[in-house]
Amino acid sequence: MRALVLERKGVLAIRDIDLPDQLGPDDVRIKLHTVGICGSDVHYYLHGGAGPRIVNAPMVLGHEASGVIVEVGSNVEGLVAGDRVCMEPGVPDFKSKATKLGMYNVDPKVTFWATPPVHGCLTTTVVHPAAFTFRIPDNVSFGEAAMVEPFAVGMQAAVKARITPGDIAVVLGAGTIGMMIALAALAGGCSKVLITAVHQPKLDIAGRYTGVVPINIRNLDVVERVLEETGDWGADVVFEASGSPKAIASLVDLCCPGGTVVLVGVPTEHNSLDIAGAINKEIEIRTVFRYANVFDRALNLIASGQVDLKPLISETFAFDDAIKAFERAASGLPNDVKLQIRLAD
Amino acid sequence: MRALVLERKGVLAIRDIDLPDQLGPDDVRIKLHTVGICGSDVHYYLHGGAGPRIVNAPMVLGHEASGVIVEVGSNVEGLVAGDRVCMEPGVPDFKSKATKLGMYNVDPKVTFWATPPVHGCLTTTVVHPAAFTFRIPDNVSFGEAAMVEPFAVGMQAAVKARITPGDIAVVLGAGTIGMMIALAALAGGCSKVLITAVHQPKLDIAGRYTGVVPINIRNLDVVERVLEETGDWGADVVFEASGSPKAIASLVDLCCPGGTVVLVGVPTEHNSLDIAGAINKEIEIRTVFRYANVFDRALNLIASGQVDLKPLISETFAFDDAIKAFERAASGLPNDVKLQIRLAD
Amino acid sequence: MRALVLERKGVLAIRDIDLPDQLGPDDVRIKLHTVGICGSDVHYYLHGGAGPRIVNAPMVLGHEASGVIVEVGSNVEGLVAGDRVCMEPGVPDFKSKATKLGMYNVDPKVTFWATPPVHGCLTTTVVHPAAFTFRIPDNVSFGEAAMVEPFAVGMQAAVKARITPGDIAVVLGAGTIGMMIALAALAGGCSKVLITAVHQPKLDIAGRYTGVVPINIRNLDVVERVLEETGDWGADVVFEASGSPKAIASLVDLCCPGGTVVLVGVPTEHNSLDIAGAINKEIEIRTVFRYANVFDRALNLIASGQVDLKPLISETFAFDDAIKAFERAASGLPNDVKLQIRLAD
Amino acid sequence: MRALVLERKGVLAIRDIDLPDQLGPDDVRIKLHTVGICGSDVHYYLHGGAGPRIVNAPMVLGHEASGVIVEVGSNVEGLVAGDRVCMEPGVPDFKSKATKLGMYNVDPKVTFWATPPVHGCLTTTVVHPAAFTFRIPDNVSFGEAAMVEPFAVGMQAAVKARITPGDIAVVLGAGTIGMMIALAALAGGCSKVLITAVHQPKLDIAGRYTGVVPINIRNLDVVERVLEETGDWGADVVFEASGSPKAIASLVDLCCPGGTVVLVGVPTEHNSLDIAGAINKEIEIRTVFRYANVFDRALNLIASGQVDLKPLISETFAFDDAIKAFERAASGLPNDVKLQIRLAD
C-alpha cells in the first residue's frame, strides 16, 4: 500500500508499506480522498514524538480524512460501497466502562490514527469501524469533510462549555484550533466571540466571520476590552487554546462570576492557574480531550450553512507533493490555516 | 396619562387615565417609544379575559416595549436619563424563594404588564425596576427592541432545550412564538429547524431564514420527513408551539431516543401526551413559562447579527391609530407576524 | 440445560431445554445462584405477553440474577472463574449510536432476558458479556445481588431526577418499584421521601426505613400533606411509580415551581397529564426506561451500608419449588415484596 | 448592645457597642441563642485580617448563628415572633444580576457577617432579612442549627459536585470543612467517602460515620488506595478541602476519567494544578464560594436524620467565657471540631 511514511524524526518518504487490511464484520474499507495535515503530524515529523509517545518505527501519518467506501463488512447497516464519508480517527474498546458511559474518548484503550505505534491514513485505503465512519451530505466537499476532524475539537469545546444561547465568549489563541473553537462556539449559541493572538494575519482571517471580534494582544489589554464588551461582568465562557502560561494566568480575570473556563490547549511548561481567584468567582473549569459524538453534529452544521470551513483550507497538494506539503506546514506561513493532501480525484 | 385602555371586553379607548407613577430608589422612569401587540393583548380585547384572569376594570394594554429613560431612582447604577432601553414586563418579589433560586418567572407573586389587574405600557411613561430595564445597543432599533419580549419566549425555549451544538429541531406551529423559537433555536446551536404549519404564508416567511425548513403538514407527513432528515433517528429537540392536541400526540414519534420535548403552547382542550411512548424512548419533557434572565442575551444576539427580527415586523402604526392596529391584529391577516405601535419619534 | 420454562400462557415446567451456550471472547459463563421473580415474569406467565411482546414459543423466565463465574472468554479482563457476580440483563449493540452516547438502554437493538423471543436465566448456566457482569463485594449476599436488577430501576429514577442534596420527594405507588425508587432517592440525596399507596401492609414495610414517610391515600389528601411538609412550596421531585391515571393527574399539584416529575410506571389506559399546569410551574418531566450504568453504583451503595435491601426479600424458594414460587407471586400476598429462587448452594 | 468585639489584632473584649438595629419591612429581629466559632473568626482574631480584608476598626465577630425571632417587619410572611431560627450570614443586593441568576453568593455586593467592615452576630440581637432567616424544625437543637452555616459549605460542595447516586468520593483534608463535605457528600448521594489527613484524631472522629473511610496519608499512598477501592478507575469526585499544594498536585491522579474535582480550600501559596493531566482525563473542576440556596436543604437533612452533626460540637461555652472559647479555638486542640458560644437559655 502506497503511503506517506515517517521513517524517523525528520525523515518522510512516499513508499509502499504493509498495513493491516482485514475487513471485520463491523468494518468498512475506504479509499482515501483528502487528508489534512495536523499540527501533531508536523510535531511527530519534526520531533519524532510527543510527550510519552515516541515514534520508534516507521509510521504512516495523517488522521483528518475523507474518502469513499469501497467495501462493507457483513454486519454493516446504513453504509454502502460508493458512499462519500469522513472518519473519526480514535477507536475505543466498544465494551469499556468509558464507552458505556458515553465518553469513549477517555477510554484508556483508544487507538488513534498516526499516534505511535498506530499508523495513520495518508495511504490508499484504510479499514475502519462503520460506527466511526460518517456519510457526507451532498453539498459538503471532500475537503470540508476532511476538516471535520479538527473542527470536532472545537465542537467538543463548545459542547463542554454548555453554552447558554447569547453567551459572550473569549478564545485565547487564534491558531487552527482557536479558530475551530470560535466557529463552533458561534454556531453553538454564542452571540459574539472575542479571539486573541499576537499575530495579525490569523486574526484578520478569523475577523472575516460575523460575530468574531479579533483582538491583537500586542496592542490591547484583553481583560479591559472584555469588561467593556460585557458591562464590567466578564465573559460567560473563556476558551484557552494557546497553552501559554500568560493566557492561563488571565483566565479568571476574563471570566464572569459563576462563569466557565474551557481548557483545550495543553501547556508545555509549568502553569499557574489562579485557584483562589477561581474560587472567589465560583468559576467552573472544563477540559477537552479530543471529542466524542460530535462528527455527525459537525456535518449537520456544515451542510446547513451555519458553519463555513472552506475559507480555512489554505492550499491542497497532490499526494506526490505530500512531502512538500509537510515542509510548508512545518514552515508555519502566517496565512496558512489548514493544508490538505488529495489522494484521489 | 394618555393610554390605550381596554374598557371592557371588545371596547378600546385612547384616553387619559390615572396610573401609578411614583419613582422608587431602584426604579427608572421610561418614555415609551414602541410597543408591540401580543396575541394575549388581542385575546383580552376580544374575550375580556384568559383562563382565570378576568378584566374587571379598565386596563391599559401592551407589554412588548422599548423607550428612553427620563429619570432614574437614587440607587440606580448603570443606567442614566437618555438611555435607549427595553423592558422585561414581569416583576417578581425580589426576595422570594423562586428569585433566590434564579427562576423568578415562576414566583407566584410576579406582576406582569397588561395581565389583570395590572396595567400595561401602551401609555406615555412608565415606572419600572432598573433591574428589568435593559440598555439597547446602538445598532438595534426601537422596533427590534420591542421585539425582544416575544423573542424572549423563544430564547427561554432554547435555553430550556439545553441544545447540544448541531442538534436538529422541530418546531410545531409557525405563529409568532413558533417563529421566535425557530430563530432562537438556530442561534442557540441547532443546525437545522423544521417548522410545521397548515398555513403557507407564515411558512414562506419562516423559510426565508437559512437553516429553517418549512413543512406544510397538509401535504406532508412530518414524522416521515423528520425521520428522513435524521437517518431514522428522530429530532434531538421537538418544540411544541401550537397547543394543538394533534401536535401534542405526535411529539414522541418525532423525538429521538433520549431526546427532548419542550412544551411552550398551552393546550386549551384535553390533551393526550403519549406517556408510555415517552418512557419507551426515555424522553425528557421540559416546559416554558415566560422567561428569566434572557433579555440581555437576546439583545446580544440581535446586536451581533446572529438573529434578525426586522423581517417579522409587519407594520408599525402611530399611537393615534392604535385601535386600528388592534383591529388589524384581531383580523389575523395571513402575512402579519408582528404589528407595532409607535408612541414617540 | 435444566430451566424454568414458560411453555405458553399459564403453563410452567421445570425441564431440560436447549439454550445457546457458545462462549465468545468477550463473554463469561455463569452458574446461576439466585434469581428473583419480577412482575414482568408473572405477567408473561399469566397473560402470555406484554403489549407488543408475545410469547409464541417456550421461553425460559427470569432476569434478576446472581451467580458464580465458571469460565471466561479469551479477551476478558478483570473477571475470573470463581468470582461471585450479578448480571445486567439487557445487552445493546455495543457499536450503536445510543451506546456511543452513553444511553445504551434506549438502543432499539437491545436484547433483554425473558423478553420474547429472548430466553431468561432461570436455568443452570448462562453465557453473558463480561461488560454486563459485575463482581459482588464480599459483604453482599447472592440474594441481595439478585435484587440489584430491580433496584437499578430505582437508581435510574434517582439519577434521572438529578436530585439536589436535601430535596424532598414523593413516590406515588408502594409496589416493589416504588420502594426501590424511595430507597434510591434517599440514598441519592433526598432528605425525605413520602410514599403513597392504598394498601397498608406495603406502606408499613416502606415506613420502617428512616426518611420514608408512608401515606395511605385512602385516609389522607396527598397534595395537602405534601404542601404541609414543604412550607406550601411542593415537592422538589415527584416519582410516578403506579401508572394510575389518578396519580398522573395529581403530579403537577404535588410538584413545586420549577420542580421535576419522573415517570416510571407505564400507564395502561389513557392518561391526562396536566400540560397547562406543568407549563404554569415550568415543571420538567423525565422518564425512565430500565437503566444504564447503574449496576456498579447500586452495588457500592449496598456494600457501604447506605442501602439495605435484605428486608425486602420476603421468601426464597428452592429451584424444585420454582413453580410454587410463581404461583405465590401470582397470588400477590399483601406482605410480599420480592420472592427469589435459589438454583445453587 | 453587649457583644464580643475584636478591638484589633489579638485583642478581644466583651463590651457594649452601638450596632445598627433599624427593622426594615422585610426584616426580622432575632435574639441570638448559639453562635459557633469559625476558623475565619479565629483568623481575624490572630492576624487582624484575611487577604485584602483588614480589620481597621472594632468589629463584632461570629456568623454561625441560631436564635429566636422577637419582632418581624411589616411585609414579612411565614415567620412570627417566637420562631426558632438560624440565619444565612451573607446578604446580596436582591436586584443584582447574580441574584436574578440564582447565584447570589457571587454578587460582588454581598455583605457577610464578621467580614470587615461588617459586624458579626456575637451579640444580643440582630436585624436580618427574613429571606435569609430559616425556621428550625422542632427536633433540631439550637446548637445543631448554629452548625448549619459551616455545613452549608459542605452542602454547596455536594451540590456543585452534581453527585450521581453511588459515586465514590475523596475528601482531601479532615478539618471542620472537610468533615462537613464528607457528610454532605454521603447524604447527597455518595456511597463512600475516603477522607485524608495527617492527624489521626480528626480521622478517628470522621471514621465513626458509616460510609466514611479515614486515610492517614502519613502511612498510606492515597492514590494507590483510591485505585484499589475503585477497580483502578479513580474516584468519581475529589473534593479539595486542605488548600495544600501537595493535595492540589494529586487531584488529577485521584480522579477517574471524565470525573469531577471540587475546589473548596483556598491555597495560600502558589499551586500547580496539573492542567495537562486534567485535559488527558477530561476532568471538570468546580469551585465553591460559600453557598446559595442550601440552608433549607441542610435543615431538612438534619431533621430527617440523614445527617447527624451533634458529634461534631466539641464544647459549648457561656457568653461570659467567649474569650476563653476563642483562646481554646486558637490553640487548635486535636479533638476539637466545633466550639460554640451560648448567648441565651
Residues B11 and B129 in one domain: yes
pLDDT at C220 over 80: yes
Here the cell at position B58 is 379598565
Q: Are residues D171 and D141 in the same domain?
A: no
Is C227 touching B (CB cutoff 8 A)?
no
Q: Please name the member of D101, D258, D264 whose beta carbon is closest to the beta carbon of A106.
A: D258
pLDDT at A7: 98
- The set of chains that have 3 or more CB pairs under 8 A with C is A, B, D
Domain presence at residue C302: no
CA dist B148 and B141 (Å) reads: 11
Calpha distance A36→A103 (Å, rounded): 25
**CATH code at position C128:** 3.90.180.10
Question: Are B155 and B130 members of one domain?
Answer: no
Task: Summarize the confidence of residues A161-187 as an average pLDDT.
Answer: 98
CB B19 within 8 A of CB B123: yes
pLDDT of residue D162: 98
Q: Is pLDDT above 90 for C1? A: no
pTM over 0.95: yes
- What range does the domain containing D142 cover? 2-147+309-342
For residue B302, tell me if it sits in a domain.
no
Q: Which residue of B has its CA nearest to C264?
A: B279
| pLDDT (tens digit per residue) in A53-75 | 999 999 999 999 999 999 999 99
C-alpha to C-alpha distance for D45 and C138, rounded to whole angstroms: 51
pLDDT at C242 over 90: yes
- Judged against a pLDDT cut of 80, whether residue A254 lies above it is answered with yes
Per-residue pLDDT reduced to its tens digit, C45-72: 999 998 889 999 999 999 999 999 999 9
A271 → chain D, closest CA residue:
D272
Q: First CA to last CA across chain B, in angstroms? A: 18
Q: Edge-to-edge, what's the strand order for the sheet holding D2-8?
A: D11-16, D2-8, D59-60
Residue C223 lies in a domain: yes
Three cell numbers written together for A9:
524524526
Average pLDDT of adjacent 10-residue blocks, chain D of 345 residues: 96 96 97 97 96 94 98 97 98 98 97 97 98 98 98 98 98 98 98 97 97 94 95 97 94 98 89 90 98 98 98 98 98 96 93
Q: Check: CB of residue A152 under 8 Å from CB of residue A294.
A: yes
Give yes or no: residues C6 and C96 share one domain: yes
pLDDT-derived band at C271 (thresholds 50, 70, 90) equals confident
CA–CA separation, D92 and D72 (whole Å)? 20
Are D253 and D321 within one domain? no
Amino acid D242: pLDDT: 96
On average, the pLDDT of chain B sits at 97
Closest CA to A278 of A305, A263, A256, A246: A256
Q: Do residues D42 and D101 share a domain?
A: yes
Pair (B207, B128) in one structural domain: no
A115 and A24: one domain? yes
Dihedral angle sign, alpha carbons of residues A285, A287, A292, A298? positive
CB-count burial class (<10 Å; 0-12, 13-18, 19+) for A20: exposed
Q: Is residue D140 part of a domain?
A: yes
Give the CATH number, domain containing residue B166: 3.40.50.720
Domain assignment of residue B300, yes or no: no
Give pLDDT, residue B81.
98
Q: Which of A341, A339, A338, A294 is nearest to A175 (CA)?
A: A338
Q: d(Cα C294, Cα C292) in Å, to the nearest integer?
A: 6
Is the confidence at residue C217, as pLDDT, over 80? yes
**SS3 of A296, please?**
helix
Q: To probe the interface with C, which of B109, B110, B268, B285 has the most C CB atoms within 10 Å? A: B285
* Whether residue B155 sits in one domain with residue B94: no
pLDDT at B51 over 90: no
Distance CA A260, CA A168 (A): 11
Q: Looking at chain C, which residue has its C-alpha nearest residue D194?
A: C304
Taking CB atoms and an 8 Å limit, are B267 and C281 in contact across chains? no
**Best mutation target, B26, B77, B91, B95, to test chain D (most D CBs within 10 A):** B95
| Residue A268: per-residue pLDDT | 79
- Per-residue pLDDT band for A207 (boundaries 50, 70, 90) equals very high
Check if C218 contacts A (Cβ < 8 Å).
no
**Chain A touched by D287 (CB under 8 Å):** yes
| A294 part of a folded domain | no
Half-sphere exposure of D213 (CA within 13 A, CB side): 16
Residue B270 reports pLDDT greater than 80: no
Chain A positions touching C130 (Cβ under 8 A) are: 95
Q: Are D167 and D141 part of one and the same domain?
A: no
On whether residue D299 sits in a domain, the answer given is no
Residue C116, pLDDT > 80, answer yes
The larger pLDDT score, comparing residue D268 to residue A246, is at A246
Give the type of residue at B81.
A
Split into its structural domains, chain C has a count of 2
Report whether pLDDT(B251) > 90: yes
Per-residue pLDDT, D62:
98
Size of interface A-D (CB pairs under 8 A): 99
Domain assignment of residue A304, yes or no: no
Give the pLDDT mean for C238-252. 95
Residues of C whose CB is below 8 A from B233: 97
Sequence-distant (≥ 6) Cβ neighbours of residue C284 within 8 angstroms? B284, B285, B286, B287, C259, C260, C261
Whether A314 and A199 share a structural domain: no
Regarding whether D186 and D122 lie in a shared domain, the answer is: no
> Could you please report the per-residue DSSP string of D235-267?
EEEEEE-S--HHHHHHHHHHEEEEEEEEE-SPP
A1 or A113: which leads in pLDDT: A113
Neighbors of chain A with 3 or more C-beta pairs under 8 Å = B, C, D
pLDDT, tens digit, 9 for 90 and up, residues C67-113:
999 999 999 999 999 999 999 999 999 999 999 999 999 999 999 99
The pLDDT assigned to B59 comes to 98
Q: What is the pLDDT of residue B102?
A: 98
Residue D276 grid cell: 495537562
Structure confidence by residue, pLDDT tens digits, B58-117: 999 999 999 999 999 999 999 999 999 999 999 999 999 999 999 999 999 999 999 999
- Taking alpha carbons only, the member of A52, A64, A10 closest to residue A177 is A64
- C227-245 mean pLDDT: 96
